[in-house]
Amino acid sequence: MASPPDTSKTTKLERYNSYIRKVNSSKLLAASSKLLFRLTLLVTLVLIFFFILNYPPLSDTAAAAAASNHRVLATSHLLSSAFYGSGASWEKEVRRSSTPRKPNGFSVLVTGAGGFVGTHSSLALKKRGDGVLGLDNFNSYYDPSLKRARQKVLKQHEIFIVEGDLNDGELLAKLFDIVPFTHILHLAAQAGVRYAMQNPQSYVSSNIAGFVNLLEIAKNADPQPSIVWASSSSVYGLNTENPFSESHRTDQPASLYAATKKAGEEIAHTYNHIYGLSITGLRFFTVYGPWGRPDMAYFFFTKDILQGKSINVYQTHDEKEVARDFTYIDDIVKGCLGALDTAEKSTGKGGKKRGPAQLRIYNLGNTSPVSVGKLVSILESLLNVKAKKHVIKMPRNGDVPYTHANVSLAFRDFGYKPSTDLSTGLRKFVKWYVSYYGIKPRVEKGITESN
């Protein structure tokens, strides 16, 4: 009888193989569950991170605004690189918006296009046939819904705002890859004199680091654009000569805000000197008007007076009235366009200077200072409400007692001639304010009576 084949060896081998398979599969299982665990942990951490960044929601209080502002800047910086320009349609929008409609029209990058002066200037440029591309990070220094409402208006006029931060070099470089901008109107900034004591870093980040970043990109661009940018009357600081002329001292800033704007003027000198960038700085004097900034006195006085809240009216330490050369937005826009129109071409190419380039500084004011007390009484009559005034000594918060512009240089070079007095300008502002916030009936009488 034939003996059955000896299978003991193959059985052993099979058992051994099956053992190895089991070990391997349990190792695989362990490894994949480890991987799954790590992945879950990562996703949870990312979710927590974004939750923290976006919470609490926007608040009115200055402290919350400060924190929130920083968060938004940080998020916008992180997100913009990841999400901008994610497609052909985005690039198409960028090109379409920045293409001029008239022959020899400009192609202007307007930074801070969601801001007060940015919105008005963008509209004016677009209306006359220039191409305009906006850039804004929509931070929450003041109510972002107002910036979004301005963005809507720009969109209706076919102006596209790229959402991103000045400090995002990758984004800026990409924009210059797509569009050969002829000009930059640089209005993005951390504004406000008093807020600099609460959030000093935001001034350094926008007004210094952001400006340098923009100039770095501009100097490398081919063609190099001409640059017009917003400085501030606050650079005159403790200057006592009157009215303020561009030749007066600007080395005694009274606030960090003023110091960062003054730094911007010096930085502009450097980039002009080394790289041949054509740069014009405009010293704005307390700009006001429809679609204005809610952090400014005329704006929050209006809100507080209507709500029956008291307002603080500052006076100097020797009990004199505090006054400002309040300048209406339409005059400022004319000044911006005049500066753009007379800006010469930059002379450099690919980061190299090829000859001397234009470097200018101009005051854009109203040439007629008005006391804060008078501002309040104009508002009272327009709003038809008596203000609850607290006259107090100006806190030591960076404010200066008085501003007054001499604008003869801007008049000489581009015919700048402010034409709106404070009462007329405030009436236009109040008209806009009540219609924007839907409170027209209460103040209709005041606006019509003061017509």
Ligand X SMILES: O=C(O)[C@H]1O[C@H](OP(=O)(O)OP(=O)(O)OC[C@H]2O[C@@H](n3ccc(=O)[nH]c3=O)[C@H](O)[C@@H]2O)[C@H](O)[C@@H](O)[C@@H]1O
Q: Active-site residue 436, yes or no? A: no
Q: Given the complex with ligand X, which of 137 and 206 has the nearer CB atom?
A: 206
Tell the smallest beta-carbon distance from residue 226 to ligand X (Å): 23
Helix (H, G, I), strand (E, B) or coil at 310: strand
Smaller CB distance to ligand X: residue 23 or 392?
A: 392
3-state helix, strand, coil in the chain (%, to 5): 50, 15, 35
Between residues 84 and 138, which has the closer beta carbon with respect to ligand X?
Answer: 138
Q: State the minimum distance, in angstroms, from the CB of residue 149 to ligand X.
A: 20
Report the first-to-last Cα separation within the chain, whole angstroms: 127
| Residues that bind ligand X in the complex, under the rule CB under 6 A | 191-193, 232-234, 284-286, 296-297, 312-314, 322, 324, 372, 394, 399
Output 221 or 313, the one with its CB closest to ligand X: 313
Contact 146, 176 (CB under 8 A): no
Residue 91's closest CA among 181, 175, 214?
Answer: 175
Classified as helix, coil or strand, 274 is helix
E-assigned strand segments in 103-196: 107-111, 131-136, 160-163, 183-186
Cα 102 to Cα 124, 125, 227, 346, 381: the distances in Å are 14, 11, 21, 22, 44
Instruction: Report which secondary-structure segment, H or E, holds 72.
Output: helix 62-83
Query: Residue 358: enclosing H or E segment and its boundaries?
Result: none
Quote the distance between the C-alpha of residue 252 and its chain's center.
25
- CB of residue 71 to ligand X, shortest distance in Å: 22
Is the bond preceding residue 56 a cis peptide, omega within 30 degrees? Answer: yes
| Phi/psi of residue 164, nearest 5 degrees | -175, 170
The answer to whether 137 touches 111, Cβ cutoff 8 Å, is no
Query: How many other C-beta atoms can be found within 10 angstroms of the C-beta atom of residue 436?
Result: 13
Q: Considering the complex, what minimum distance in angstroms separates the CB of residue 123 from ligand X?
A: 21
Identify which of residues 98 and 232 has a Cβ nearer to ligand X in the complex: 232
User: Is the separation of the CB atoms in 95 and 109 below 8 Å?
Assistant: no
Distance CA(174)–CA(314), nearest Å, equals: 46
Q: Which is nearer to ligand X, 227 or 322 (CB)?
A: 322
Considering the complex, what minimum distance in angstroms separates the CB of residue 284 from ligand X? 5
Helix, strand or coil for residue 438? coil
Task: Output 225 or 292, the one with its CB closest to ligand X.
Answer: 292
User: What one-character DSSP code corresponds to residue 240?
Assistant: -
State in angstroms the smallest separation of the CB of 177 from ligand X: 32
CB of 327 to ligand X, least distance (A): 8
Name the active-site residue from 195, 203, 257, 298.
257
d(CA 160, CA 151): 8
Q: Which residues are catalytic?
A: 257
